[in-house]
């Protein structure tokens, strides 16, 4: 992938599309899938992205009779439109009969997917880095994709899983490798995963954010230190997650912009009923070559930009 001639690169982040793909067997689910596809098509036609990122919970695998087909249906908006795409996995992706490792293998088989096979001896499925080339073909920006897991395996902890130490070590190794290739300067980067870090709660408490915070921050109960690693490296300008359907805010902490996407299938589920407090949609991110900076906004299902969602966020600058 490379920056456009005007120096921009546009990413559309679809969050929590949760495809089921049951067709005539479950008309309600089929309707929701169809409406979600229509939302994605509307946003793609307006934004014309260079990359589509599916930020976890690509499927509602526990409710699907064929999770792999549900995954293929979910990403078909990218495949059918011949747009490069990548996916990370959420907690719902591995609740069914298909492990997330098999789902990652499936995405690698599909057209226009820019993901790569997992590095050896690293936790999870779907840990990889993608670079965006500048005019001369050299890497000008990096996109990190990490598996934030599903649920804690520790009885003493409980709750959601977290990005593990070996994944952090992998990120540090890749970050340093790209820095060397970039003449000793950290390569501007973004990171995508599904479950928000505990630092998202810290941002929420400051009230120094733009967007909705309509439910609690469902982060892991353990802080494994991934945020600290990114701050120390100085390359990641922003992180992008899904998971909490009624949250879509962005706020800056220690030079890194912590962003939710906008839930693409439904905004919230209360007492077993779907209740959209605001329109579904997607987060859009625009990078510029040579700048440690990005712009972001929310594009809604009706094609409009959500009020107050368009922001320009300066990443860490060099001392």
pLDDT digits (tens, 9 = 90+) for 199-255: 999 999 987 899 998 888 999 999 999 999 999 999 999 999 999 999 999 999 999
Instruction: Give the pLDDT confidence of 26-84 residue by residue, as tens digits.
Output: 778 888 899 999 999 999 999 999 999 999 999 998 888 899 999 999 999 999 999 99
Evaluate whether residue 3 is within a structural domain.
no
Q: Is the pLDDT of residue 186 over 80?
A: yes
Query: Token pair for residue 31?
Result: 């309707």
Evaluate whether residue 200 is within a structural domain.
yes
Number of domains in the chain: 1
Q: Is the pLDDT of residue 316 over 60?
A: no
Q: At 286, which CATH number?
A: 3.60.21.10
Q: What are residue 294's DSSP bridge partners? A: 287, 313
Domain around 289: 8-314
Q: How confident is the model at residue 270 (pLDDT cuts 50, 70, 90)?
A: low
- Residue 15: predicted pLDDT: 96
Q: Is the pLDDT of residue 25 over 70?
A: no
Task: Give SS3 for 104.
Answer: helix
Evaluate whether residue 258 is within a structural domain.
yes
Evaluate whether residue 81 is within a structural domain.
yes
Write out the H or E segment, with its range, that includes residue 195: none
As to burial, measured by CB atoms within 10 angstroms (0-12 exposed, 13-18 middle, 19+ buried), residue 4 is: exposed
Q: How confident is the model at residue 307 (pLDDT cuts 50, 70, 90)?
A: confident
- Residue 22: predicted pLDDT: 67
Q: Is the pLDDT of residue 274 over 90?
A: no
Residue 12 and residue 53 in contact, taking contact as beta carbons nearer than 8 Å = yes
Evaluate whether residue 119 is within a structural domain.
yes
Evaluate whether residue 240 is within a structural domain.
yes
Residue 16: CB atoms within 10 A of its CB come to: 26
The C-alpha torsion from 57 through 63 and 68 to 70, rounded to 10°, is: -70
User: What is the distance between the alpha carbons of residues 62 and 85, in angstroms, rounded to a whole number?
Assistant: 24
Evaluate whether residue 94 is within a structural domain.
yes
Nearest 5°: the CA angle 273, 279, 285 is 125
Evaluate whether residue 257 is within a structural domain.
yes
Residue-wise burial string across 198-234, b where 16 or more C-beta atoms lie within 10 A, e elsewhere: bbbebbbeeeebbbbbeeebbbbeeebebbebbeebb
pTM of the model as a whole: 0.94
């Amino acid at each position: 992938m490379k920056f456009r001639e005007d120096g921009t690169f546009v990413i559309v982040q679809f969050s929590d599309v949760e495809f089921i793909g049951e067709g005539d067997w479950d008309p309600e689910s089929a309707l929701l899938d169809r409406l979600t596809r229509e939302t994605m098509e509307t946003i793609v036609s307006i934004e014309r992205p260079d990359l589509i990122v599916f930020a976890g919970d690509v499927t509602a695998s526990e409710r699907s009779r064929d999770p792999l087909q549900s995954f293929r249906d979910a990403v078909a908006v990218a495949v059918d439109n011949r747009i490069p795409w990548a996916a990370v996995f959420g907690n719902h992706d591995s609740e069914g009969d298909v492990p997330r490792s098999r789902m990652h293998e499936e995405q690698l088989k599909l057209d226009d997917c820019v993901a790569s096979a997992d590095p050896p001896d690293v936790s999870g499925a779907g840990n990889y880095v993608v670079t965006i080339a500048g005019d001369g073909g050299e890497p000008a920006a990096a996109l990190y994709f990490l598996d934030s897991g599903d649920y804690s395996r520790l009885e003493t902890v409980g709750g959601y899983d977290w990005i593990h130490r070996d994944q952090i070590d992998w990120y540090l190794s890749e970050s340093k490798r790209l820095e060397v290739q970039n003449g000793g300067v950290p390569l501007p980067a973004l990171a995508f995963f599904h479950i928000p870090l505990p630092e998202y709660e810290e941002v929420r408490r400051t009230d120094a954010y733009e967007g909705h915070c309509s439910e609690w921050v469902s982060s892991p109960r353990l802080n494994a230190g991934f945020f600290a690693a990114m701050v120390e490296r100085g390359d990641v300008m922003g992180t992008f997650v899904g998971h909490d359907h009624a949250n879509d805010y962005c706020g800056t902490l220690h030079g890194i912009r912590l962003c939710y996407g906008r839930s693409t299938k439904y905004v919230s589920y209360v007492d077993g009923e779907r209740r959209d407090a605001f329109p579904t949609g997607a987060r859009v991110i625009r990078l510029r070559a040579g700048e440690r900076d990005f712009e972001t906004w929310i594009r809604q299902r009706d094609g409009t930009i959500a009020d107050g969602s368009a922001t320009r966020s300066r990443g860490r600058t060099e001392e």
